[in-house]
């Protein structure tokens, strides 16, 4: 996926607000790419453009040399609140089966695909439960299984583990990495957690505070997986990234407290 000179401008009767300005990046096929930056820097806006949920104001996004102008089945979005993304009136199995039915996948093939992905996320014993009967981590695993069942090429994840407790989040990191390594999907993962980005990503795209946010630096994480948070090299990288982000965090807090005109 290639982003070239990407811009996003919002106009609502007042002065135009330039949310993104000149974002340039190539995300390689099969890569786990993290977008990291302070709250309000435009990470979610950028992900929505990649998903085709909203148009760019300038520049281009291409996937496989095809312009991304609207939502497509080759890209699927994950949200922080899995409960709102799932169908509460359908069981675990029916949630995974739903997209396959819409695409008119033959019944026997559907059964095989559903069984495969429920087993992959360890929900096969919970197939008859409803989302309300699952823990937060289990709901996120269900969201992953439902998305993978329709065979997307790119997974777009908007802080999917942000609402989970620390222990469940660590477990979900292991689940996601195992699935990513097994399937070879491209993952674009939005987070404001430096440690999460370091443990998960092949590369980290650091975004500046808005307005006119852009990717200011791309950092490659050249460490084998699974990664140990106590690894001295990762600890040094954490502090390096923290120092690089500090000016933008200060700027973001200043803008948050600026009096309205």
Residue 99 domain-assigned (yes or no): no
Asked, for residue 87, whether it belongs to a domain, the answer is: no
| Mean local confidence (pLDDT), 25-49 | 92
Per-residue pLDDT tens digits for 90-123: 999 999 999 999 889 999 999 999 999 999 999 9
CATH number at residue 201: 3.40.50.300
Q: Is residue 103 part of a domain?
A: no
Placement of tokens 């359908």 in the chain: 90
Residue 72's pLDDT is: 78
Q: Could you tell me the pTM of the whole model?
A: 0.90
Taking 80 as the threshold, does the pLDDT of residue 46 lie above it?
A: yes
> Does any domain span residue 157?
yes
Q: Residue 171 belongs to what domain range?
A: 2-74+152-256
What is the number of domains present in the chain?
1
Q: What is the pLDDT of residues 4-14, one digit of tens each?
A: 999 999 987 67
Please choose, from the candidates 81, 82, 63, the residue with its C-alpha nearest in 3D space to the C-alpha of residue 73.
63
Residue 107 forms part of a structural domain? no
pLDDT band, residue 63 (cuts 50/70/90): confident
Q: 17 - beta bridge partners?
A: 10
Identify whether 247 is part of a domain. yes
Inside any domain, residue 108 = no
Q: What is the DSSP string of the chain?
A: -EEEEEEEEE-SSSS-EEEEEEEEEE--TT-EEEEE--TTSSHHHHHHHHHTSS--SEEEEEETTEE--S--TTEEEE-S-HHHHS-TTS-HHHHHHHHHHHTT--HHHHHHHHHHHHHHTT-GGGTT--GGGS-HHHHHHHHHHHHHHT--SEEEEESTTTTS-HHHHHHHHHHHHHHHHHH--EEEEEES-HHHHHHH-SEEEEEPPSSSB-EEEEEE----SSPPTT-HHHHHHHHHHHHHHHHHHHHHHHHHTSPP-
Is residue 261 situated within a structural domain?
no
């Amino acid at each position: 996926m290639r982003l070239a000179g990407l811009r996003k401008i919002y106009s609502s009767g007042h002065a135009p607000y330039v949310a993104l300005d000149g974002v340039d990046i190539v995300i390689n096929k099969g890569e786990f790419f993290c977008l990291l930056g302070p709250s309000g820097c435009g990470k979610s806006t950028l992900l929505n453009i990649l998903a085709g949920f909203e148009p760019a104001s300038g520049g281009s996004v291409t996937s496989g040399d095809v312009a991304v102008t609207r939502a497509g089945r080759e890209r699927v979005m994950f949200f922080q609140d899995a409960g709102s993304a799932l169908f509460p009136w359908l069981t675990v199995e029916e949630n995974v089966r739903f997209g396959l039915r819409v695409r008119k996948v033959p019944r026997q093939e559907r059964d095989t695909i559903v069984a495969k992905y429920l087993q992959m996320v360890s929900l096969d014993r919970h197939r008859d439960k409803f989302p309300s009967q699952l823990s937060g981590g289990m709901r996120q695993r269900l969201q992953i299984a439902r998305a993978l069942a329709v065979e997307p090429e790119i997974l777009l994840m908007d802080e999917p583990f942000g609402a989970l407790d620390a222990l469940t989040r660590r477990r979900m990191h292991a689940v996601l990495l195992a699935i990513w390594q097994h399937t070879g999907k491209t993952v674009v993962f939005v987070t404001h957690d430096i440690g999460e980005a370091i443990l998960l990503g092949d590369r980290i795209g650091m975004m500046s505070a808005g307005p006119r946010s852009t990717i200011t630096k791309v950092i490659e994480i050249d460490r084998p997986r699974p990664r140990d948070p106590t690894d001295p090299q990762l600890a040094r990288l954490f502090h390096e990234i923290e120092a690089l982000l500090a000016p933008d965090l200060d700027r973001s807090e200043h803008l948050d407290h600026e009096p309205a005109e």
